[in-house]
Structure 1
Amino acid sequence: MLDTGSLSERDICTKFITPALQQAGWDIQTQIREEVSFTAGRVIVKGRLHTRGRQRRADYLLSYRPNQPIAVVEAKDGSHSVGDGMQQALAYSDALDVPFVFSSNGDGFLFHDRTGLGAQTETQLSLDEFPSPEELWERYCRWKGLEGPARPVVEQPYYDDGSGRVPRYFQRVAINRTVEAIAKGQDRLLLVMATGTGKTYTAFQIIWRLWKSGQKRRILFLADRNVLIDQAKNNDFRPFGRAMTKIGNRTVDKSYEVYLSLYQAVTGNEEEKNIYREFSPDFFDLVVIDECHRGSAAEDSAWRAILDYFSSATHIGLTATPKETKEVSNIDYFGDPIYTYSLKQGIQDGFLAPYKVIRVDLDKDLQGWRPSKGQADKHGNVIEDRVYNQKDFDRKLVLDQRTEAVAQRVTEYLESNDPYQKTIIFCEDIDHAERMRQALVNLNPKRVAENRKYVMRITGDEQEGKAELDNFINPEARYPVIATTSKLMTTGVDAQTCKVIVLDRRINSMTEFKQIIGRGTRINDDFNKHWFTILDFKKATELFADPNFDGDPVQIYEPSGEEPIVPTDEQPSEAEEGAELEEVPAEGGDVAEEPGEYGIEGEPDWSTDDSTGPWGGSDGDAGDDDEPRRYVVGDVPVSVLAERVQYLDGDGQLITESLRDYTRKQVRAQYASLDDFLKQWEGADRKQAIIDELAEQGLFWDDLIREVGDTLGEEPDPFDVICHIVYDQPPLSRRQRAENVRKQDYFQQYSEPAREVLDGLLEKYADTGIEPIEDRKVLTMDPLSRLGTPTELIQSFGGKAGYDQAVRELEGALYDQQA
């Protein structure tokens, strides 16, 4: 028998594992997938550039049916024992949701059965004892309780258009769990998936499999935005073809099988206008509710009445932000989430964009402001004598210079980075959004002269601005660049290239906060959108510290015990919607976004006058009690008192300590002493590998290099950053290190052509760092490319081995002073 001890992992797979799987009956074309990378690799920001962390990769993923994996196999080379890959494979099985786990070194298999149906949890198997697809599938179905009529439902294939698009691993888990639960008779289900993770595509695949298997024949897909319905109909749901229709608000054609509808298109304020009642209560087998945290979450809402009417159908709720308050609960209605894929997990996997937070504290926000005795505002109203603070600003009191200070800081940030990166500024209300627009226009005359739409107020009360929403979210359209808004853009806005989110409003709702942050989380490779920045002026990002921000939802609902009340008006009650956006059916069956009782912006309807405040009337006008609705003060200076940058660490948590303290902690956890670090550095074949590994663990090299470089006057090497910040050693710049090598007469041992190459490498190191000189491609770049071809330059060292040895010795000389 062939000795496996000296074989590589790839040899083990080719010579032993794959043949064993095929011998057991696994089809190499349809059931066996090798080297399956199921994550994209966390985005690691490097200044204005980015790189990707390591992808998670399973050596083998085994599926009984396509996109229905049931087993994972981890391979190790011949120097490992048969079970050395088991813990790694078990971690993969957690993510991939598969119960059968194998590890192998080519001598046999260690089999871990998570179903509990085997004689024991872990079993040693010889190469010819690997279980067949049918054996594992039968055990899987017994474990899941999928017997009788449930079996063909879960065996129904996914939709495949031949384009190569397949569900991502987390979408597949959500789809399979949902289909399996419905096949077994569960009729209320909740899926929680972060914004930007493809809820609509996931819903389509669920519906497709249930529809094609005959489990569900008539389906209703409900959403609360026209754009969501149209996007679904024209994109993900297109394969339903002529079986699908969009419901208007006048007539109903019952010959279709898949119906897409706005809540507002099937409800009305009079009984005869409730179009959904033209269907019999048992007409639909399945109702899918998109963004179910909104209107349908409240038991006394008009929208919930639709779900109650079709109560015999299976209901699936989809949301990124389940609503759980004492008054409203998704869990009370749908049950605990059958699957949750969080923002944190999406960032770690590399499917969602990471972010940094710039917390800006204004002096008047922190210190408060009190008027002098008898002081009047710009409109002549005597200001009530008390201390006004952040809670009051832009609600009960407007400081004009505060608005200008925020606009100034936003402008400075954009100009120092990229003045054309899409930016959303969330303001307290429509009036605040308009004042912010004006301030930004005045601070950006050059940009506005290029295009008057550089800054636009996009709110529900104003058609000119609202008409630009599509252009703002269109990656191909440069303008508008900056959108000031209040509520309109908190949800349902697929702003793929939004790179800056500005928070200048107080946010007390975790649901709303998550939705706002979700505007920046999408990644768009084509337009270089891989991360985003949050500029926070109102301490809203303190909600990141709340365990509920990225944890599993917890039900705290307190049912009233009363019969549900069905409102007779078209608009949601304030308790129902938390004053969120509502779309109102317009004449002719189309849905127009118009302010209603609580306005399209979600505030009381004061859209008849742009300057109207949230207490009615103009800002400086008096009401019936002769009290002004809002004071406006123009001569109070406001300035930035403090500013702090916070980053996401390697575990997806926002760093609360200083960057230096965080760096010390992270590095010392791996290298307890300077000697430990130097030993690892000196022994590394590639120094860049250590730098990249620390970056994956959450070190922010660009900011650290900038901080130490400000002291040196030149950029330091990452090596010096660590030695200085973590181990209190005096740092050197890269150029100082390069000059020290030149002073040593180090080059004398080489020929003249080789000395020129080494001098060029030193110059490249001084300019850009260690990474390029560890890659032979550097020989194709200036100044080295002027010395000859790569082959000629390598030959001056006697060949590749001699060149590589010279580079290693050069690195040793570079870091010798510190060592």
Structure 2
Amino acid sequence: MNKKTLSERDICTKFITPAIEKAGWDKNTQLLEEVSFTDGKIYVRGKLTARGTRKRADYILYYKPNIPIAIVEAKDNKHSVRAGMQQALDYAQILDIPCVFSSNGDGFVFHDRTAMDGNIETEFDNDNFPSPEELWQKYKKYKGIETPEAEKVVAQDYYFDGSGRSPRYYQQIAVNRTVEAIAKGQDRILLVMATGTGKTYTAFQIIHRLWKSGTKKRILFLADRNALIDQTRRGDFKHFKDKMTVVKHRMIDKSYEVYLALYQGLSGADEEANAYKQFSHEFFDLIVIDECHRGSAKKDSAWREILRYFNKATHIGLTATPKETKEVSNIEYFGDPIYTYSLKQGIDDGFLAPYRVVRVNLNVDTEGWRPEQGKTDKKGNEVEDRIYNRKDFDRNLVIEERTQTVARKLTEFLKGYDRFAKTIVFCTDIDHAERMRSAVSNLNADLVAKNHKYIMQITGDNDEGKRELDNFINPEETYPVIATTSELMTTGVDAQTCKVIVLDAEIKSMTKFKQIVGRGTRINEEFGKMYFTILDFRNVTDLFADKDFDGDPIRVKPVSEDTDLSGIVDEEENIDTPIIDEESGEEIEIETEIRYPEPQTPTDKVHEPREKVYVNGVDVSVLISREMYFDNNGKPITTSLKDHTKDLIKGQYASLDDFLNRWNSTDKKELIIKELEDQGVLVEALRDAVNREVDLFDLICHVAFEQPPLTRKERANNVKKRDYFTKYGDQARKVLETLLDKYADEGVTNIESMEILKVKPLTDYGSPLEIIKQFGSKAKYLEAVKELEQELYKTA
């Protein structure tokens, strides 16, 4: 047998798999082949989307189903035995795997990430692959698992419910690192995972493994919103069944093992309301704090007192947005995150929806507004003469026409996109949300007449709106479609099908911005939710450019004790300080307007916030509406789209000849599109910016290499003039002429697909099989299409 003639798959089947099995690896439970561990990044192409390539390992070896300990990258025998090592190391880094192998069927190269003595890479033949037990010892060394007690905890299985659901790779890492840290005695742990990445499911698997192994016998899951407790109880935690209870009305039953509780249900303003003291200090072994960036992040909060009371328990903090200010810190309490899975990672892996951003600049926002002399408000009072700007609008001063303009722009967008796309409009306060609901209703009177719940105000003070929150987030329910809100929906709302987020409030807090963006990041393919659009009226999306948007959280050093903090109000104070029902102990979700005090001198008195001024008769118009574009690092592109693209393409192809060689040698031009998109080229945006009638080939040659572009129709006509089809039979010629017309209309990637033979007008020539017969065989048909492509680009 000549190994050089075998495919990579044949090498795996005939040599690599048998060598691993011979070493004692069970093919059913320990040896997994062709493991895809990402879903493939979603690319938005106009209104359509496409998935990028999934990351896939040739082999992942598991000691137990929850513990991946080795990765093997295979190559065919034309490559060296080491050829797959670099890719395998990249995947091992992502997957947190210590043992890395490369093979071409002749033998293996082993890269040992635990080695400290210089023998990092060794080579051996197919008869000497390490056994599961050998690599398990390496894994324990890599993770610092030194005692039998710790090994028992680490080796405890996940919970599998028979549905086929298992943790994604990043959830697996988060669970394993947490369990391993606890097994080694760590008692304060922080997990940072982007909204929509399954923090609650991750928490459930952590708790289940620790509970099942007997390491933690009584567990408290703490949250500060009713919705979070309800989602947890009905969702991932339902498998605890009768072992679990929800603490309500400060009634404590100590016979359960897993407790779900609101902070507000355990603590209160006076000592008698502190129900948590009905438990002993040692009652809980483990406390998991959901959304720990809010109330429990504050050192002097009543909620932090609960954690101090149960200080002998292990505390795990979960958050998408760890809070780090001079006065508030998650890291100071929990330590540095044991694992971080960011929004950018989630989007790159295809587990989170990407976003488009449309910035809308209004004249009064950009230029400011100054009342003409004698201008009066709606009450007839003269308006103070000064320049009002975006920070004033809807907080101090309401311009009715501004509200109307925002509502009209939103309506125009939805009419051009999807009028039933679930939409959240974030407003300055409740008053603003009320007025926005009215303005959007008037502009969508046809749909509101059919169902008044087409648009709803969902704020903390509005019972009717709050009752519709579950319907808004339920993909099966059509109504409400549009929700206007201010604070209530910034967090804790699992809006799977939210396709549009409107920003018409001043947002300076990175924590709050991340939470708002998180409302749109969930994917629901069944309901067509693959990406979302942010309509930004306040330049809030400038925060995408902030280095802290998707970076690791860094502890901000506390201010010195003698620093004067008088007059400083935390922007999120209203989120972190809920109002409590005295009888039930549960949260009353009332939103309050955030007040920004004027700078004070030591002798100043604190004044009551000024009453809002309402004016009309102001000319408000849209100065500019444009889409923002982002690079591969998620940062806004500040140069022109053409210059950005030129730099990327020239980084891929050194010269025009390099590109032409690549183009002509590639059978499927779709592969080149994917390569460019992976590099960060925004193909669809570039088409819009240059000319949608231009072929991708001409687009690249024009933008990167300054070649004059031809339209697709011009290229097709050039082929027709050369009378290229005469060598084919009558029917085959008609098929090729039709393919040429299809190219002129739709582009080269469509004619490369066999699926095109199933659409009009090609179906007029018969079934795909009958069409192929006109060319003699499928191979000859594909050869004819290839020749057609060569003719199209002959003049290049």
State if a TM-score over 0.5 links the two structures: yes
Q: Secondary structure at the match of 1:764?
A: helix
Percent of aligned pairs sharing the same letter:
61
1:776 to 751, 754, 760: 754
Q: Does 1:793 align with 2:771?
A: yes
- Pairs within 5 Å for 1:39-78: 39-78=38-77
Q: Which amino acid aligns with 1:551?
A: G
652-661 vs 304-313, greater mean Cα deviation: 652-661
Task: Spell out the pairing of 1:138-537 with structure 2 (5 A cutoff).
Answer: 138-146=137-145, 147-537=147-537
- Please tell me the residue identity of whatever aligns with 1:655: I
Name the structure 2 match of 1:113: 112
- 8 Å Cα contact 1:109/1:127 also seen in 2: yes
Contact (CA 8 Å) 1:660, 1:725: kept in 2 or not?
Answer: yes
Residue number in structure 1 paired with 2:601: none
Matched letter for residue 381 of structure 1 = N
Q: Which digits, 9 at most, give the CA deviation of each residue in 1:677-723, with x for residues without a partner?
A: 2222122212222123223333333332233337xxxx222122222
* Paired residue type of 2:9: R
Give the aligned partner of residue 635 of structure 1.
617
Structure 2 residue identity aligned to 1:31: Q
**Pairwise CA distance, 1:427:** 0.9
Q: Is the 8 A contact 1:649 1:697 kept in 2?
A: no
Equivalent in 687, 692, 700 of residue 705 of structure 1: 687
- Partner SS state of residue 705, structure 2: coil
- 1:602 deviates by 4.2
Is the contact made by 1:44 and 1:52 (CA closer than 8 Å) also made in structure 2? Answer: yes
- Counterpart in 1 of 2:728? 750
Q: CA deviation at 1:139?
A: 2.4
Change in CA separation of 1:520 and 1:664 when aligned onto 2, cut-off 3 Å: same
Instruction: Name the counterpart of 1:597.
Output: none
Distance 1:766 1:730 in 2: 18
Q: Distance in 2 between matches of 1:385 and 1:265?
A: 49
| 627 and 108 in structure 1: CA distance in 2 versus 1, 3 angstrom threshold | closer
Correspondences of 1:661-740 after superposition (within 5 Å): 661-709=643-691, 715-740=693-718
Give distance in 1, aligned partners of 2:192 and 2:767.
56
Paired residue type of 1:203: A
Q: Within the alignment, does 1:644 sit opposite 2:626 as a pair?
A: yes
Deviates more, 1:160-169 or 1:132-141: 132-141
Inter-CA distance 806–112: structure 2 relative to 1 (3 Å threshold):
same
| Partner deviation per Cα, 1:600-629 (whole Å, 9 max, x = no partner) | 22436xxxxxxxx999xxxxxxxx999961
Shift of 1:142: 2.9
Q: Which residue of 2 aligns with 1:567?
A: none
Whether the aligned pair in 2 keeps the contact of 1:603 and 1:614 (CA below 8 Å) is no
> 3-state DSSP class of the match of 2:5?
coil
Query: What CA distance in whole angstroms lies between the structure 2 residues aligned with 1:588 and 1:418?
Result: 45
Cα 1:22–1:48, aligned 2, differ >3 Å: closer, same or farther?
same
The structure-2 alpha-carbon separation of the partners of 1:213 and 1:798, relative to structure 1 and needing over 3 Å to count, comes to same
Q: Which residue of 1 aligns with 2:603?
A: none
CA shift at 1:589, angstroms? 3.6
> Which region of structure 1 is more displaced relative to structure 2, 528-537 or 367-376?
367-376
CA contact (8 A) 1:117 1:139 kept: no
1:119 & 1:658 partners in 2: Cα distance? 49
- CA-to-aligned-CA distance 1:370-400 (integer Å, 9 cap, x gap): 2233432221222222211111111111111
Shift of 1:287: 0.3
1:657 to 627, 639, 656: 639
Question: Kindly tell me: are residues 343 and 58 of structure 1, through their superposed partners in 2, closer, same or farther at Cα, counting changes over 3 Å?
Answer: same
Q: Which residue of 2 aligns with 1:103?
A: 102
TM-superposed deviation, 1:519: 0.5
1:579 aligns with 2:581: no
Which AA in structure 2 matches 1:702?
E
Q: Secondary structure at the match of 2:69?
A: strand
Amino acid of the structure 2 residue aligned with 1:676:
D
SS of structure 2 residue aligned to 1:675? helix
> Please, which moves more after superposition, 638-647 or 425-434?
638-647
Please, which moves more after superposition, 284-293 or 804-813?
A: 804-813
Give a deviation string over 1:280-317, Cα, whole Å, max 9, x none.
Answer: 00000000000000000001001101000000000000
Output the amino acid matched with 1:804.
Answer: L
Which sits farther off after the overlay, 182-191 or 125-134?
A: 125-134
Deviations 1:534-570 (A, max 9, x none): 11111111111111110000001417779xxxxxxxx
Amino acid at match of 1:25: G
1:72-104 deviation digits (Å, cap 9, x = unpaired): 110111011111111100100111001111111
Question: How far does residue 5 in structure 1 lie from its aligned partner after superposition?
Answer: 2.5
Give the Å deviation of 1:246. Answer: 0.7
Judge conservation of contact 1:200–1:236 (CA < 8 Å) in 2.
Answer: yes
SS at match of 1:149: helix
Change in Cα spacing, 1:550 to 1:628, as seen in structure 2 (3 Å) is closer
User: Equivalents in 1 of 2:526, 2:408: separation in Å?
Assistant: 30
Root-mean-square deviation (Å): 2.1
Amino acid at match of 1:802: K
TM-score by length of 2: 0.95
CA distance 1:230–1:602, change in 2 (3 Å): same
SS in 2 for 1:259: strand
- Aligned partners of 1:497 and 1:523 also within 8 Å: yes
In structure 2, distance between residues paired with 1:316 and 1:416: 45
**C-alpha contact (below 8 Å) 1:249/1:585 kept by paired residues:** no
SS of the residue corresponding to residue 50 of structure 1 reads: strand
Contact 2:295 2:576 in 1 (8 A): no
Partner amino acid, structure 1, of 2:275:
I
Cα distance in 1 for residues equivalent to 2:709 and 2:559: 63
Distance 1:669 1:380, change over 3 A: same
Indicate if the aligned counterparts of 1:584 and 1:592 stay in contact, CA closer than 8 A: yes
Paired residues of 1:580 and 1:602 also in contact (CA < 8 A): no
SS in 1 for 2:236: coil
Query: Secondary structure of the residue that 1:726 maps to in structure 2?
Result: helix
Whether contact under 8 Å (2:179, 2:206) holds in the other structure is yes
Q: Quick check: 2:370–2:387 contact (8 Å CA) kept in 1?
A: yes
1:810 match: 788
User: AA paired with 2:621?
Assistant: S
Q: For residue 133 of structure 1, what is the amino acid of its counterpart?
A: P
* Corresponding residue for residue 601 of structure 1: 591
Q: Please give the secondary structure, in 2, of the residue aligned with 1:106.
A: coil
* CA distance in structure 1 between the partners assigned to 2:19 and 2:117 by the alignment: 21
In the TM superposition, what is the alpha-carbon distance from 1:470 to its structure 2 partner?
Answer: 1.2
Q: Secondary structure at the match of 1:603?
A: coil
Secondary structure in structure 1 of the residue aligned to 2:60: strand
Please list the CA deviations of residues 564-611 of structure 1 after superposition, one character each: whole Å capped at 9, or x if unmatched: xxxxxxxxx9659522166555476473534xxxxx22436xxxxxxx
Contact 2:264 2:587 in 1 (8 A): no
Return 65-74 or 553-562, whichever deviates more.
553-562
- Deviation of 1:769 after TM superposition, in Å, equals 1.7
My pick for the range that moved more, 742-751 or 85-94, is 742-751
Residues 156-181 of structure 1 deviation map (CA, whole Å, 9 limit, x = unaligned) = 10001111110000000000000000
Code of the residue aligned with 1:783 in structure 2: it is P
Q: Deviations over 1:45-82 (max 9, x none)?
A: 12211110010001111111112101111011101111
How many Å apart are 1:791 and its aligned residue? Answer: 2.2
Q: Which moved more, 1:241-250 or 1:574-583?
A: 574-583
Report whether the alignment pairs 1:35 with 2:7: no
Q: Kindly tell me the number of residue pairs found equivalent between the two proteins.
A: 782
